Structure 1
Amino acid sequence: MAAAVGFSTAGVSPAAASPAETRSVADRLNLADLPPTAPARETSLLATAPGERCQPTATHSKARRSGATQACVSVRTSRRPARATATGRAPQASPSPSALAAGTGSCTLAAPGVYTYERFQYCVRGVEVLYTLRDSNGREIGSGALDIATSASLPAQGTTWNEHVTTTMTRASGQVTTLSAKFRSACSAGCKATKTAPWFGANLTVGQSVNGDVSYASTPAAGQQLDFTTSYTLYVTTPGAQATDPNASWSNPRKIRCDDAVRDTGAGGTASPGCVVPSVMAAVEMSAEPVSSSGQGAAAAAYHWAQRNLSDGWGFKKPLTRAKSGVADRKSATCGSFQARDDLVDNATCAEFPFAAAREGGKDGALCTDIIPNYSSGGWDYYDGSAGSSGIDTGKACTRAHVPAADLDAAEQKLAGDFTAQRVLDAEQFDLNVTAAPAQAQATCLQDPPARSFPSGTGWIRNTTEPVDQRNKTTNPPGPAGHRASVAQACLGKTLKRGTAAAGDITGWQDAQLFAAANSPGTGLARCHLIANILGGKGSRVGDQNNLVPCWQFGMNTGTPSMRTYEYMAQTEVKEPTFGPNDAIFYEVIPRYKDVTSTIPLGVEMTARIERANGTSQPLFHEEFIPNTQGGNGLYNLGN
């Protein structure tokens, strides 16, 4: 029996990492940090003709009898543009449907006479039409003012829409006490005003309003887009007088587009025309919530990381451009050489950014940085996914993310759906907004994964190593210098990921075989996982074997008590109904070695602490020492 007298302690402070270790946590996104978004909004100042347009009053009219020889009309607007972002793409509060119907809502954010636009809306308020009576000397003897507001919502699916018009008499003086207002709408080629008058026979006094709808239609052919503008005329007089000509007229400063060009018309399919304000950039919306919560999960989280960390910031700093053709080729250029980390991500696949569905996609995969987004209650941890890398490289031109296939499928479906919903045409630019619901409180170890850890389920695992003079010290000749496993830590969330089997010529394995042959021939040896396979621990790949130490199969690995005893306690605890989705177990295993030359530990010390999302904690087990001896007799400690 080997005596367990005096052993080297692998400390809990960070130990040297194995040269083969390639994963590290580099960044975190808390979902609570993602701001809500609303439709992009832009403004344009209404251009009006300067001065008045006048004509003589009719002989024998009431206005002529009161001394007025001319009736004049002018359109006035404020010259102060509304405060807005430079690009018009910043999130803002969205108006309510009732406000839009009343001609207010988003227009209340703009100064009078300033048009406000969203992708599917336009409106204006404070267009003032002034009616003035003048005598033969040009002196004003009476006036009245009308305030006009209009608003419209464009159909994402369909090509007919209404525009709501409200006219209010705001003031009067002198010989003018009542005004008659006749409104007419029109539109340019590509559109037809199907109902031009919102009302008939409106006589207004100060404080009175009249409102109604005008209507439009456009009929683009398959694959066609039609651009046009709407225009307006207001005939204003005193009751019973002939309408003033010229009258008050103005046009919408921005074009409207109706199209049937979003779908791939070459492949047939159902017609799907719709209308937008094309100068307001479309925005694809994705949620970084997990797919189980109806989000786009790891794919959306990866896109958000790329937007904020890569220099081009596509879809955030710079717009993306839809490209219908060549998608498969661009996907292949970026992801063709991709090696999915199925050992870390279930059913892993390549989520490229910029998208292959965008002109900016298709970058050489060798120019991309590989990342692994991993959800841990309330946010995403980002890990290095590039073999041989010492950290995530933010100087690359693109990103390839290792994400579950279900997450990528959800993201690609959302992208395609928003191309239709936002009517993004081929070669049209668009933004990408990533949002989420507020994050929830979470266990302490989930909040800040340490450096050199890697994702596992909804938690993380961290293995460390320390140098040793020979990887096997009893062979002839002794082995070369290398590393032996040191402190292993894990933050075990509600969802555990199955690890991988143990394999390979790990440090001390040949020493263990020689010891067993000399002392207990035929007795089974094992490569013990420090973080158990059932808890997500790895062991099959080069670089994962720093999670393994030589041990007796029946003894330290299995039996009662053994490592399996405590591993099962942790596995069982996370399945308990009282263990919440934001709770975790901080789990630590420390190999204890005889001295600095040892290649096999004398045993392992195991500790686990339950951490609750509410900040409380309690031990699951504490500093349980499992000797590296045979089960049943406690003999033949493998430690050297």
Structure 2
Amino acid sequence: MRSLRFLAGTAAVAVLVAMSPAAPVRAAETAAAPGAGPRLLGTLSAADITRHDRTGKADAVESTATVAAGTTCASTAARSKERALGAVTSCTRLTPKVQTKRVALAADPCDIGESGYWIYTRSGSCFKDFEGEYWLLDAQGRIIGTADFLVSGSMTLSPGRATFTENLTVTVTDTDRQVLALNIAMDAACSGSCSMADANPWDGMVTLVEGASASGSVTYAASPSAGAQTNIQTSYHMYVVALGAIPIQPNYNWSNPWNVRCDNSLAVSGTTGCVYADVRAQLVLPLSQYRAAAATYAFAQIYLIDHWGAEDSPLRRQADSGIAGSNRRATCETPLDPFIPFDDSVVVDDSCDEYPFAATQQGGTTGSFCADIVALQEDDGLWYFYEARADKPVNFNEPCVRGHVPLGENEAAGGKVGSLPQSERIIDNEAYTVAIT
């Protein structure tokens, strides 16, 4: 049971919450009456988290990256089947949309992608159903035969491997009496410190009638030097001709608008891995799992002036464990203002949980400048934030927070923070956001 002295005035707090439906409540200007118990700083519910979300977790965000559409025409070969049909020119056009979309969180970008768009997550990408057209022109420039096709590709990156794979598919969707089928070949390439054992998703030309598809995969291998990174751009070449014709050169070439970043031992010592670094990493901490720790970080995001971890105020990784240790000591163990734990009647196995995290560039503020708070969940399901010390009033302009958090919850959240560089391939000083869900 919590200290009755600490929770004195809880009934009055409940009345305050009931009178203020626009929670979370911020009681910055409300001083506690003498003997009324600790000062209430605010409250938090699941609805508040959604309403005050600053991490920019929109399902899709348009990017300025573009993929150029293009048309390629060439003369048909003498004595070719196309020439026998009266066609002196064959043309191919691929028409992707001109905008790229970024998706922050998704297992497979192709599951949520729209046709005609590039879709990205940090660990993969998808270009979905790029529309292609093939047509034949006679000597007077009239169209005498057409066929349509779709091109798609799905790439999967690994934060712990130097290789990554892309599945490529072409489907013929429409033909006519002059173009009964298409012969299609395809290959891929990559720039930077990258190589490919086989650039072709399938061998040679495949003949595709209406409704038929060709699929296969290509594998890219990154080879950045130890302690370095490489930016890899993938590109693609297609050969499309009518049945029986022979391609001379690719009809269409295009490139991935965003680079894949692969590093060797920058994010995780002794390993190589790859991500789309343009998609910012995100640390997701469910309130139901990390409880008082997650609530403490939410308090800092919602109430404190810097709202660290938000999209416009991201944290940056501090990869030096020695500096991270010094940061924690400066915040939680400073002789100027050491953290004073509560007894078990208030917080069981109390510990100092600092935010911003010690393993960030923003961590390490001397604890005397931090807001000391305690987050307690009450029977109504709300989290109540209280001022932990009457001699150290919270003014909401503090650059950091020291939360009174049960040690187990503190360590669980710390473990999640510690594993993020490996799971998301975050290098030193790289920005990431924190989402409390």
TM category, shorter? 0.7 to 0.9
Distance 1:131 1:41 in 2: 32
Q: Which residues in structure 2 correspond to 1:181-200 (within 5 Å)?
A: 181-200=184-203
Q: What corresponds to 2:279 in structure 1?
A: 280
Instruction: State whether residues 256 and 277 of structure 1, in contact with CA within 8 Å, keep that contact through their aligned partners in structure 2.
Output: yes
Q: What is the CA-CA distance between 1:205 and the residue it aligns to?
A: 1.8
Equivalent residues of 1:373, 1:381 under 8 A apart: yes
Runs ≥4 in structure 1, deviation > 6 angstroms? 36-40
Contact 1:321–1:428 under 8 Å retained in 2: yes
- Residue by residue over 1:214-235, the C-alpha shift from the partner in whole angstroms, topping out at 9 and shown as x without a partner, is 2211133442222111111111
Of residues 312, 327, 330, the one that matches 1:330 is 327
- Computing the radius of gyration from Cα coordinates, the structure with the larger value is 1
Task: Tell me the equivalent position of 2:180.
Answer: 177
**Alignment map for 1:17-36 (pairs within 5 Å):** 19=34, 23-31=38-46, 34=49
The one-letter amino acid paired with 2:315 is L
**Are positions 1:309 and 2:303 aligned together?**
yes
Q: Using the alignment, how far apart are the partners of 1:310 and 1:62 within structure 2?
A: 73
Amino acid across the alignment from 2:190: C
Report the TM-score, using the length of structure 1 for normalisation. 0.57
SS where residue 411 of structure 2 aligns? helix
Residue 360 (structure 2) pairs with residue 340 (structure 1): no
Aligned to 1:203: 207
- Code of the residue aligned with 1:321 in structure 2: it is R
2:234 maps to a residue whose letter is: T
Aligned-residue offset at 1:385: 0.9
Q: SS in structure 1 opposite 2:197?
A: strand
User: 1:375/1:262 Cα in 2 relative to 1: closer, same or farther (>3 Å)?
Assistant: farther
Q: Tell me what 1:48 maps to.
A: 68
Q: Match for residue 221 of structure 2?
A: 217
**Cα deviations by residue, 1:363-402 (Å, 9 ceiling, x for unpaired):** 2323221110123354422111133256x43222221112
Structure 2 CA distance for partners of 1:29 and 1:95, relative to 1, 3 Å: same
What is the one-letter code of the residue matched to 1:147?
A: L
Aligned partner letter, 2:112: S
The answer for the alignment partner of 2:86 in structure 1 is: 67
Q: Secondary structure at the match of 1:130?
A: strand
- C-alpha change, 1:188 and 1:428, in structure 2 (3 Å) is same
Distance 2:268 2:165 in 1: 28
Contact 2:67 2:99 in 1 (8 A): no
| Matched residue count | 395
Q: Find the residue that maps to 2:139 and give its secondary structure.
A: coil
Query: Contact 2:191 / 2:234 at 8 angstroms: preserved in 1?
Result: yes
Does structure 2 conserve the Cα–Cα contact (< 8 Å) formed by 1:120 and 1:155? Answer: yes
Letter in 2 for 1:65: A
What secondary structure does 1:236 align onto? strand
Task: Name the CA distance, whole Å, in 2 between partners of 1:211 and 1:339.
Answer: 61
Q: Could you tell me whether the CA contact under 8 Å between 1:22 and 1:386 is conserved in 2? A: no
Equivalence map 1:560-639=2 (5 Å): none
Please tell me whether the aligned partners of residues 73 and 244 of structure 1 are also in contact (alpha carbons under 8 angstroms). Answer: no
C-alpha distance in 2 between matches for 1:69 and 1:175: 14
Structure-1 separation of matches of 2:62 and 2:184: 27
| Cα distance, 1:69–1:247 mapped onto 2, change above 3 Å | same
- C-alpha deviation, 1:22, in angstroms: 6.1
Partner of 1:255: 259
Q: Secondary structure at the match of 1:397?
A: coil
Deviation at 1:433, TM superposition (A): 1.2
- Aligned partner of residue 235 in structure 1, secondary structure: strand
Counterpart residue identity of residue 206, structure 1: E
Give unpaired runs (5+ residues) of structure 1. Answer: 1-11, 266-270, 290-294, 436-640
CA deviations 1:11-51 (Å, max 9, x no partner) are x997x97747762333222346555998975555542254x
Distance 1:161 1:350 in 2: 41
**What is the DSSP-based 3-state SS (H/G/I as helix, E as strand, rest coil) of the residue aligned with 1:393?**
coil
Question: 2-side partners of 1:423 and 1:69: how far apart?
Answer: 53
Is 1:318–2:313 an aligned residue pair? yes
TM-superposed deviation, 1:264: 6.0
The CA distance in 2 between the partners of 1:400 and 1:430, in whole Å, is 21
- Deviations along 1:452-478, whole A, 9 cap, x unmatched? xxxxxxxxxxxxxxxxxxxxxxxxxxx
2:338 maps to amino acid: F
Which residue is equivalent to 1:612?
none
Q: What code does the residue aligned with 1:238 have?
A: A
- Amino acid paired to 1:407: E
Preserved contact between residue 32 and residue 38 of structure 2 (Cα < 8 Å) = no
Structure-2-length-normalised TM-score: 0.82
Alpha-carbon contact 2:202-2:216 (below 8 Å) kept: yes
State how far apart, in whole Å, the 1-side matches of 2:403 and 2:48 are.
21
Give SS of 2:200's match.
coil
> Is the 8 Å Cα contact of residues 39 and 119 (structure 1) preserved in structure 2?
no
Is 1:167 matched up with 2:167? no
Instruction: Measure, in 1, the Cα distance between the counterparts of 2:356 and 2:11.
Output: 39
- Within-5 A mapping of 1:383-398: 383-389=386-392, 392-398=394-400
Deviation per CA, 1:442-461: give whole Å up to 9, x if none.
Answer: xxxxxxxxxxxxxxxxxxxx
**What SS is found at the alignment partner of 1:296?**
helix
Q: Is the 8 A contact 2:316 2:429 kept in 1?
A: yes
> Secondary structure, in 3 states, of the residue corresponding to 1:242?
coil
Answer yes or no: is the 8 Å Cα contact 1:71–1:244 preserved in 2: no
Secondary structure, counterpart of 1:217 in structure 2: strand
Residue 63 of structure 1: SS of its match in structure 2? helix
- Give the whole-Å Cα distance in 2 for the aligned partners of 1:31 and 1:256: 36
% identical aligned pairs: 31
Match of 2:363 in 1: 361
1:345 touches 1:402 (CA, 8 Å); kept in 2? yes
